[in-house]
Amino acid sequence: MLSKQEAFLSSALSSFTQANQRSVLSWNSLLAAYGRHGVQGLFVLHLLDMQQQGVLPNRVSFILTLSSLVSHPSHAIYGKRIHACTQTCSFRSHVILGSSLFNMYGRCGSLEAAWNVFNDIPTKDISAWNAMLSLYADRGLSEETIHLFVALLNEGPMVPNNVTYINMLGVCALQAGLSMGRLVHSFIAESMLEADVVATTSILNMYAKCGSPQDAWEVFSTMEVRNVITWNTMISHLSQQNQSDRALEIYHKIQNEGVLHDNTTLVSIFAGCTSEEKLAEGERILACIFRSTLKLDVSVGNAVLNMYGKCGRLARISVILNVMQGKNVCTWTTIITAYTQSNYCELALEYYHWMLQAGVYPNQVTFISVLEL
């Protein structure tokens, strides 16, 4: 029996092949059907077939096909052919087509070609600027991203939007660029975008990553709307700053407000309970998990193992290991490290051998722990 996707594509192809006259609209409809269902491999073939049958592609045809190549860096050669075709068309300067072209080049690893296409677009809209900023930011090219942002500000009537600012805040967070982060924050405030929970959470994350806890707390305290990502960002930041009392205070606050926390919340909370003073609180939260329908997934389980290991409660480790939903190299390494640091060398070696028997390959941290035995 055909799946829904196969049935849909079969129906679309059947309707297309039975049509007496195939216009560019018919071809584009078929390409769009392939795109909706992730059948990237047929895009270029159908585009070439379309031209061989005397039907000239339009900008929609090219945009659909270029979008399919983004997920296939090895297909950059096809993207270059499509680019060559657009050079002879009247819509070569179309901003959406241009954005599709430089996005394709960027995702396929040719940033120089992407920049050249971007630079050739005579009239760029904010979406084009954002796409180019995103290409640089995704590759960690902080300096290039900042230069492009400054060029955008000098563009005149062009107004950055929340996507622009979120891209920039991410760059500032990565390179600890507090001064630029403050500048972007001021632009967001002037643009009245502080009510946007995604933008404000990005500001909060930037201040946290740039080592400015007071600014992070002020942003968090004044937020009118928060989502689980906001809460997690603040809890994680406080746990990393050894402010576990405040992190636990926020955790209990979201519990009282009925906000559904996730595994990321729990990982951060258990990370803040790795001292004798906070172990009891961590165990209370763990007991709540066991009483609920929640499963101890691998990320949360690893955090619990780390909590017990740091507190020297090694007898609890085997219990947690048995109820965890899956194990990875971090699981075994956390256990080996805990036993090594407590001078239980034989048990540490036993767990190392059990890890190998489970088919899990050690990483660098594992080897360091084993070499300390």
In a domain, 235, yes or no: no
In a domain, 11, yes or no: yes
Residue 305 predicted with pLDDT over 70: yes
pLDDT at 263: 92
Same domain, 2 and 116: yes
Which comes out higher in pLDDT, residue 274 or 11? 274
The number of angstroms, rounded, from the C-alpha of 345 to the middle of its chain's C-alpha atoms is: 39
Q: How far is 222 from 33, CA to CA, in rounded Å?
A: 46
Q: Are 169 and 203 in contact (CB under 8 A)?
A: yes
Q: For 90, list phi and psi in degrees, rounded to 5.
A: -70, -15
Which helix (H) or strand (E) element contains residue 163? helix 162-174
Same domain, 10 and 113: yes
Identity at 299, one-letter amino acid code: S
Q: How far is 142 from 134, CA to CA, in rounded Å?
A: 11
If you search the block for the tokens 């904010």, which residue do you land on? 126
Q: How far is 267 from 245, CA to CA, in rounded Å?
A: 16
In a domain, 365, yes or no: no
Q: How far is 27 from 9, CA to CA, in rounded Å?
A: 14
Cα-Cα-Cα-Cα torsion 54, 58, 64, 66, nearest 10 degrees, comes to: 90
Which comes out higher in pLDDT, residue 63 or 357? 357
Residue 142 CA neighbour count, 13 Å, CB half: 11
Residue 356 predicted with pLDDT over 90: yes
179 class by beta-carbon count within 10 Å (0-12 exposed, 13-18 middle, 19+ buried): exposed
Same domain, 100 and 183: no
Q: What percent of the chain has pLDDT over 70?
A: 87
pLDDT at 1: 41
Name the domain count of the chain.
2
Q: How confident is the model at residue 105 (pLDDT cuts 50, 70, 90)?
A: confident
Instruction: Give the helix, strand, coil percentages of the chain, each rounded to 5.
Output: 75, 0, 25
Residue 71 predicted with pLDDT over 70: no
Q: What is the mean pLDDT of the chain?
A: 84
- In sign, the C-alpha dihedral spanning 288, 291, 296, 301 is positive
Same domain, 63 and 83: yes
| Domain edge (last residue) among 202, 225, 248 | 225
| Domain edge (last residue) among 75, 105, 121 | 121
Same domain, 175 and 101: no
Lowest mean pLDDT segment, chosen from 5-19, 82-96, 129-143, 331-345: 5-19
Q: Are 370 and 336 in contact (CB under 8 A)?
A: yes
State the average pLDDT over residues 56-64: 78
Same domain, 169 and 157: yes
CATH code: domain of residue 209: 1.25.40
Residue 329 predicted with pLDDT over 90: yes
Same domain, 143 and 155: yes
Which comes out higher in pLDDT, residue 203 or 64? 203
State the average pLDDT over residues 58-65: 79
Q: How far is 13 from 26, CA to CA, in rounded Å?
A: 10
Identity at 268, one-letter amino acid code: S
Which comes out higher in pLDDT, residue 143 or 41? 143
Same domain, 17 and 30: yes
In a domain, 302, yes or no: no
In a domain, 295, yes or no: no
Q: How confident is the model at residue 2 (pLDDT cuts 50, 70, 90)?
A: very low
In a domain, 307, yes or no: no
Q: What is the pLDDT of residues 167-212, one digit of tens each?
A: 999 999 988 789 999 999 999 998 888 778 999 999 999 999 998 8
Structure tokens at 23: 């216009």
pLDDT at 261: 83
Lowest mean pLDDT segment, chosen from 19-33, 263-277, 314-328, 334-348: 19-33
| Domain edge (last residue) among 69, 98, 121 | 121
Residue 12 predicted with pLDDT over 60: no
Q: Are 134 and 115 in contact (CB under 8 A)?
A: no
Same domain, 149 and 207: yes
In a domain, 108, yes or no: yes
Model's pTM, two decimal places? Answer: 0.76
Q: What is the pLDDT of residues 231-280, one digit of tens each?
A: 999 999 999 888 899 999 999 988 888 887 899 999 999 999 999 999 99
Same domain, 112 and 140: no
Which residues share a beta bridge with 297?
325
Same domain, 106 and 166: no
In a domain, 317, yes or no: no
* Cα 78–Cα 82–Cα 85 angle in degrees, nearest 5: 140
Identity at 152, one-letter amino acid code: L
Q: Are 348 and 370 in contact (CB under 8 A)?
A: yes
State the average pLDDT over residues 45-58: 74
Same domain, 146 and 56: no
If you search the block for the tokens 């996730």, which residue do you land on? 262
- Domain region containing 55: 1-121
